[in-house]
Chain A
Amino acid sequence: MKKKISLLTIVCLLLCVLCGCSETLSFVSFNDSIKEFDTSVFYGNVETMRGADPSLIYVAEKEGDPDSGYYYAYVTGTSTINAWRTKDMTNWQYLGAAFRPDLDTFWGYLNFWAPSVFFDETDNCYYMYFSASWTKKGTKTHYISLAKSNSPVGGFKAVYNQDSRGIIIDAPIIDFANVPKDNPLFEYRTSADDYENGYFGAIDAEPFVDPVDGQKYLVFTHDRSGGYNASSTYVMKMDDWQHPDYSTITCITECGKITVGGSETVFEGTVNEGPYMIYHEGLYYLTFSINSYDSPDYQVRQAVGHSPMGPFKKVSVEDGGVVITTDNINIYTNSSGHHSFIWVGDQLYLAYHTFLNDTDISESRKIRFDKVSFVTNDKGLPIIYANGPTVTLQPLPDKISGLHDYAGEAKITADNLADDGDVYWLNDGTLMMHENSVVKETRFKEGKSVITLTWDDYIAAKCLMIYNSRDYYSTFTCVDNVRLFYEKDAKTGVAETGRLDFNYDIFAAVDYKCAFAGASVSIEFNELKINKLEITISSSKGGNGFAVPEIAVLGRRA
């Protein structure tokens, strides 16, 4: 009898331990509104600033400088270059015109396009490349010039060249009439042309400093004006930011061709514009936009070379050449292009413009941001991949939030995987955003599936994001439960969230059966030391299995 009683006691105790210690976590779910979230942890790509062709810089916090500690964004204007700034990538402050030339006297008065701003430590100045139409040569001409400022706020002042007598030349500083006439790229236009001899329409100037040898370059677009039907990308060495070495001018992309002068073709409409060059592990990446800016299919592509001067080879769509695109969806966002990159701490972000109206090409444009990573394609080539365009909340860069995504450091397992399911994609840091993405989602069969993340050491977790599929029918309708294995006050236990619904009303266009790529079930809670997570999901929208593109666990080192 006594034995029976003792056994009963032990069973009861075990039951208590096993069942009674699972507790409900106190958390906030960002599931009710696309605009309401903790702005110290997330940004939303929702209420951003108006503008196009963004150029971003970060001005590090400096004691006593009220203009430091901000990210600055400079955007295209009609007769000015305008600027915004932010500290959290959600709340932006309009600075008005950072560059506002005196239109009564300045050589340009229209089409102040595509600024590129950078800080040059050697002379402690901010420089701004821009293009504009030259008043005396008509509104269809485009010339590149330079302005500088001591402050990121402005006002930037135009930089001028001087002639041999030291007299200021009232003209753009980049003048392709200086290209040596024996250079095959010197374009000697006939007098029948609308433009003067030697006119070489140029926009979208972007500086590049080769980290290998410090050589300065200017990458730019030879635009479609001046009788050209397609734009292309050029590069030239710069003696300094004001003086090009015109003899080095080289074409590095030809619209519609994989390589300049090559036979292999690629559909790009008539546009190769908005170039940007970055260096990564021995390779030079030239990114640029294709298709017309007012097309829903405006997007960013990439080419790779071994030198800033080329040759560059465009990466095909099949090999992951698309950096960012809306897939021509035109339902919740469209026309994602004309980009620039910005390092936020050690994370790379892409700034680009879409249209203010997310469902069609109308009204002004606005700026969005998304995280970028290098992924290796099937041919072993590292390529640039953007987790965008997103329209839902995303983690702020680590440097801003002070949090880090620790999912990538977890050992991850899952059951009930589909035949082609691969857990690799659950914590690789990427989101499958478009049809031709080399990045994939992890597919599961219909029915109860448990994803487990474990860490060798405890982390102080604060947020959990379970991303949902970009395919409407493969979205999971809810997360059944999340179990967090924690340690608190020298005790261990299991906290549970219970059911977390995916809100189709705000994360999908139900009428179009379209889920917003990059949407997630996300929760935030008080920091909790955990070393294991179990996520249970059972059902999909389509009833034929679901997919999870990524899991993020934001927190700090415990």
Chain B
Amino acid sequence: MKRKIVFALIVTCVMLILSSCGETFESFTYENEEPIPRATYDFTDADQMKLDGEKEACYGQKVYRLYNRNNTSSKVYMDCYIYFGKEGLHCFVDVKDNVLSYNSKRAVYYNSSVELFFNDWKKTYIDKSTCQYRIAAGGKSAQLCGVKGKSTYVTSYFDGQFAVRLDGELNSNNANGFSVETFIPWYELGYRPDAAGNYDVDGIMFYPAYNKVNDPQGRENYTSRIRTSRTYCFQATPYSWVPVKRTDNDSGENVSFENDFFGAVGGAESYYGFTDSGDGKVALRSGSSTSYAFVKDLSSNDCYFETTVENVAGDSSKLPKTGLAVFYMGNRVLLYIKTSDAKRVGIAQRDAANSEWNWTVEKGGTYINDTSKEPSEANYLKKVKLAVYRKGDLICFFVNDVLYFVSDGTDPDEDPVCKTADGVTLSPKFGKIYLHDTITEDGQEAEETIMGIWSASATATYSAYSACTGAAADAKFAQLLNL
């Protein structure tokens, strides 16, 4: 009996448990709604081209290959492709670089990164419609647009989109490279559609640059980079950029004007910012902030160039200067006269490691005021003859046929005496100077340079220009120094 009662009680309890305390709560889950699109625009399928960092066949042949340091034997380079879409401009760049350095805390350009500038066809200045993308291998980016009347860019906004695809690992030294694909709608490049919605685009001016960063560790504070852009190609002078015509999606004609003396060198762009007046003189265009004209097909390490410059003028607030230019790879050496001081001549340099102009070239190369001259004859702004002679590592600058500055590649602190390769001692009026990144390494052949005239915001007229190479150049040099 007792067992029955206990059993009944247990059954009762179990039933009570099952009945009153059984399933009460439905299982809870939640599901978030599809988030709103991250941006109001979506160009990932613009012109039915998938923006994914992979090159579609319609890109065709590359329009430009940019080698690191413009050294055509370098294994680090960037192939650039352009496609003219109905909706906008597509650009694809394929970078080959074994080191892909990236740290999101660094500025875009201190990472392995590309810089892509786009401007309207044959437009000779930059403005709000000049678009620049800076895109790092790790995806960090910046958008900038040109500032009209200046040579600078400002961080800005324009509709556009890009994709990056890595070929290898970031922060390693055994990667293959990365590719970048960009899209910019035509209206952001200043074009307006016709009634049918089509854009009348002849072509674009394209300026690629690459920042190589040799830091496979991706260190936060690593700020050393090698920035390469096309030789003689500058951000504020779009007429010097790579012209790409719409007709064939390929490199277009040179938009720069050439004359008999100044022009293209080795296939590179010739000159810009100057006008051939047709009477044997070349004049600077007004309003051109930076201008160059190179002696046509003069590419040598043994050469001489002279010209006469007169009527130098310019807005004093812009620090205008003009003179002769000697171009190395990523490096410019200038003999200049300055409009703010009729007696001032000097040497300036922008070397490969420094993005700033060094107007007081280290160790004795500072500008000088030629106080030894009488005012009447020292007025360089009126008329002055400038000349440069280069032989190997020796560079001599002449003003009115007088040797003013010499650099022979040796440190003036260690060897203040200037000598030719033949051991002839030179006596420059204003001493020996020391230039960076112009010295031939042991066992190497001296790098060839090109020469020409240049201006920073100054206006002037150049005439009586002549150039020669080899024995003729050496003879001219000897003649000037009565050797």
Contact of A96 with B40 in the complex, beta carbons under 8 Å: yes
A39 lies within 8 A of chain B by Cβ = yes
Contact of B38 with A103 in the complex, beta carbons under 8 Å: no
A104 lies within 8 A of chain B by Cβ = yes
Closest to B35 in A: A91
Chain B residues 1 to 60 lying within 8 A of chain A, measured CB to CB, are 5, 9, 12-13, 16-17, 20-21, 24-30, 32-33, 35-41
A509 lies within 8 A of chain B by Cβ = no
Contact of B12 with A9 in the complex, beta carbons under 8 Å: yes
Inter-chain contacts of A417 with B (CB < 8 A): none
Contact of B157 with A82 in the complex, beta carbons under 8 Å: yes
Inter-chain contacts of A103 with B (CB < 8 A): 127-128, 145, 147-148, 154, 156
A367 lies within 8 A of chain B by Cβ = no
Contact of A78 with B156 in the complex, beta carbons under 8 Å: yes
Inter-chain contacts of A90 with B (CB < 8 A): 35
Contact of A524 with B28 in the complex, beta carbons under 8 Å: yes
Q: Work out how many contacts link A and B, with CB atoms closer than 8 A.
A: 121
Contact of B157 with A16 in the complex, beta carbons under 8 Å: no
Contact of B147 with A109 in the complex, beta carbons under 8 Å: yes
Q: Bits for A424-468, please: 1 = Cβ < 8 Å to B, else 0.
A: 000000000000000000000000000000000000000000000
Inter-chain contacts of B148 with A (CB < 8 A): 103-104
Closest to B128 in A: A103
Q: What CA separation (Å) do A80 and B144 show in the bound complex?
A: 11
B371 to chain A, nearest CB (A): 30
Q: What CA separation (Å) do A95 and B40 show in the bound complex?
A: 6
Contact of B36 with A91 in the complex, beta carbons under 8 Å: yes
Q: Bits for A37-50, please: 1 = Cβ < 8 Å to B, else 0.
A: 01110000000000
Contact of A23 with B25 in the complex, beta carbons under 8 Å: yes
Contact of B156 with A79 in the complex, beta carbons under 8 Å: yes
A109 to chain B, nearest CB (A): 6
In the complex with contacts A77-B157, A96-B39, A96-B40, A25-B25 CB distance below 8 A: yes
Chain B residues 453 to 482 lying within 8 A of chain A, measured CB to CB, are none
A488 to chain B, nearest CB (A): 6
Contact of B127 with A26 in the complex, beta carbons under 8 Å: no
B317 to chain A, nearest CB (A): 12
Q: Which of A78, A93, A488 interacts with B40 by CB under 8 Å?
A: A93
B105 lies within 8 A of chain A by Cβ = yes
A173 lies within 8 A of chain B by Cβ = no
Q: What CA separation (Å) do A488 and B25 show in the bound complex?
A: 9
Contact of A363 with B105 in the complex, beta carbons under 8 Å: yes
Chain A residues 31 to 67 lying within 8 A of chain B, measured CB to CB, are 38-40
Inter-chain contacts of B20 with A (CB < 8 A): 16-17, 20-21, 491
Q: Which of B16, B37, B155 interacts with A20 by CB under 8 Å?
A: B16
Inter-chain contacts of A24 with B (CB < 8 A): 25
Contact of A79 with B155 in the complex, beta carbons under 8 Å: yes
Q: What CA separation (Å) do A40 and B34 show in the bound complex?
A: 11
Q: Bits for A496-525, please: 1 = Cβ < 8 Å to B, else 0.
A: 000000000000000000000000000011
In the complex with contacts A93-B37, A104-B128, A363-B105, A526-B156 CB distance below 8 A: no
In the complex with contacts A21-B21, A104-B128, A110-B154, A38-B16 CB distance below 8 A: no
Closest to A103 in B: B128
Inter-chain contacts of A525 with B (CB < 8 A): 25, 28
Q: What CA separation (Å) do A175 and B65 show in the bound complex?
A: 51
Closest to B1 in A: A1
Contact of A39 with B33 in the complex, beta carbons under 8 Å: yes
B309 to chain A, nearest CB (A): 32
Contact of B105 with A357 in the complex, beta carbons under 8 Å: yes
Closest to A362 in B: B105
Q: What CA separation (Å) do A87 and B33 show in the bound complex?
A: 11
Contact of B33 with A78 in the complex, beta carbons under 8 Å: no
Q: Which of B5, B25, B26 interacts with A495 by CB under 8 Å?
A: B25
Inter-chain contacts of A9 with B (CB < 8 A): 9, 12
In the complex with contacts A16-B16, A103-B156, A87-B25 CB distance below 8 A: no
In the complex with contacts A82-B157, A363-B104, A87-B30 CB distance below 8 A: no
Inter-chain contacts of B200 with A (CB < 8 A): none
Inter-chain contacts of B32 with A (CB < 8 A): 38-40
Inter-chain contacts of B36 with A (CB < 8 A): 86-87, 91, 93
Q: Which of B17, B41, B154 interacts with A96 by CB under 8 Å?
A: B41
A381 lies within 8 A of chain B by Cβ = no
B159 lies within 8 A of chain A by Cβ = yes
For chain B, which range describes its interface: under 10, 10 to 19, 20 to 34, or 35 or more residues? Answer: 35 or more
B222 to chain A, nearest CB (A): 14
A548 lies within 8 A of chain B by Cβ = no
A257 lies within 8 A of chain B by Cβ = no
Chain B residues 173 to 208 lying within 8 A of chain A, measured CB to CB, are none
Q: Bits for B421-434, please: 1 = Cβ < 8 Å to A, else 0.
A: 00000000000000
Inter-chain contacts of A110 with B (CB < 8 A): 154
A13 lies within 8 A of chain B by Cβ = yes
Chain B residues 369 to 419 lying within 8 A of chain A, measured CB to CB, are none
Closest to B25 in A: A26
Q: What CA separation (Å) do A22 and B16 show in the bound complex?
A: 13
Inter-chain contacts of A78 with B (CB < 8 A): 154-156
Inter-chain contacts of A360 with B (CB < 8 A): 105
Q: What CA separation (Å) do A38 and B28 show in the bound complex?
A: 12
B38 to chain A, nearest CB (A): 6
Q: What CA separation (Å) do A20 and B220 show in the bound complex?
A: 60
A258 lies within 8 A of chain B by Cβ = no
Chain B residues 95 to 131 lying within 8 A of chain A, measured CB to CB, are 104-105, 127-128
Inter-chain contacts of A96 with B (CB < 8 A): 39-41, 157, 159
Q: What CA separation (Å) do A8 and B16 show in the bound complex?
A: 15
A398 to chain B, nearest CB (A): 18
Closest to A102 in B: B128
Inter-chain contacts of B35 with A (CB < 8 A): 39, 90-91
Contact of A93 with B39 in the complex, beta carbons under 8 Å: yes
Inter-chain contacts of B29 with A (CB < 8 A): 28
Q: Bits for A91-102, please: 1 = Cβ < 8 Å to B, else 0.
A: 111111100101
A15 lies within 8 A of chain B by Cβ = yes
A212 to chain B, nearest CB (A): 39
Q: What CA separation (Å) do A39 and B147 show in the bound complex?
A: 42
Inter-chain contacts of B105 with A (CB < 8 A): 357, 360, 362-363
Contact of B21 with A94 in the complex, beta carbons under 8 Å: no
Inter-chain contacts of B16 with A (CB < 8 A): 13, 16, 20
Contact of A94 with B39 in the complex, beta carbons under 8 Å: yes
A59 to chain B, nearest CB (A): 14
Contact of B145 with A79 in the complex, beta carbons under 8 Å: yes
Q: Which of A12, A17, A97, A109 interacts with B12 by CB under 8 Å?
A: A12
Closest to A495 in B: B25
Contact of B24 with A94 in the complex, beta carbons under 8 Å: no
Inter-chain contacts of A79 with B (CB < 8 A): 145, 154-157
Chain B residues 126 to 171 lying within 8 A of chain A, measured CB to CB, are 127-128, 145, 147-148, 154-157, 159
Contact of A8 with B24 in the complex, beta carbons under 8 Å: no
Contact of B17 with A488 in the complex, beta carbons under 8 Å: no
Q: Which of B24, B25, B26, B30 interacts with A38 by CB under 8 Å?
A: B30
Contact of A5 with B5 in the complex, beta carbons under 8 Å: yes
In the complex with contacts A86-B36, A93-B37, A20-B24 CB distance below 8 A: no
Q: What CA separation (Å) do A524 and B32 show in the bound complex?
A: 13
Q: Which of B12, B33, B154 interacts with A40 by CB under 8 Å?
A: B33
A27 lies within 8 A of chain B by Cβ = yes
Inter-chain contacts of A95 with B (CB < 8 A): 39-40
Q: What CA separation (Å) do A79 and B26 show in the bound complex?
A: 55
| 7 cross-chain pairs, A with B, having the tightest CB-CB distances, nearest first | A91-B35, A78-B155, A97-B157, A20-B17, A362-B105, A103-B128, A16-B16
Residues of B within 8 A of A (CB): 5, 9, 12-13, 16-17, 20-21, 24-30, 32-33, 35-41, 104-105, 127-128, 145, 147-148, 154-157, 159, 220
Residues of A within 8 A of B (CB): 5, 8-9, 12-13, 15-17, 20-28, 38-40, 77-80, 82, 86-87, 90-97, 100, 102-104, 109-110, 357, 360, 362-363, 488, 491, 493, 495, 524-526, 528
A-B contact pairs, 13 of them (CB 8 A): A12-B9, A16-B20, A20-B17, A21-B21, A38-B30, A40-B32, A77-B156, A79-B155, A96-B39, A100-B157, A103-B145, A103-B147, A524-B30
